[in-house]
Amino acid sequence: MSFMIPSPGGEALAAPHIVIDAVRCWRAARDVGEPVQPCLFAALRVHDCDILAPVFDSLMTLCESALGRPLEVGDGAGVSADEHLLLDLLGGVRPSGACFVCGEGIATALDCALCSTRIMMALACAMPAGGARLH
Q: What tens digit of pLDDT does each residue of 58-117 get?
A: 999 999 999 999 999 999 889 999 999 999 888 888 666 656 677 888 888 999 999 999
pLDDT at position 98 is 57
99 in any annotated domain: yes
pTM confidence score: 0.80
133 in any annotated domain: no
135 in any annotated domain: no
Residue type, 100: F
Domain that holds residue 68: 4-125
Q: What tens digit of pLDDT does each residue of 6-62 get?
A: 444 444 445 898 999 999 999 999 999 999 999 999 999 998 999 999 999 999 999
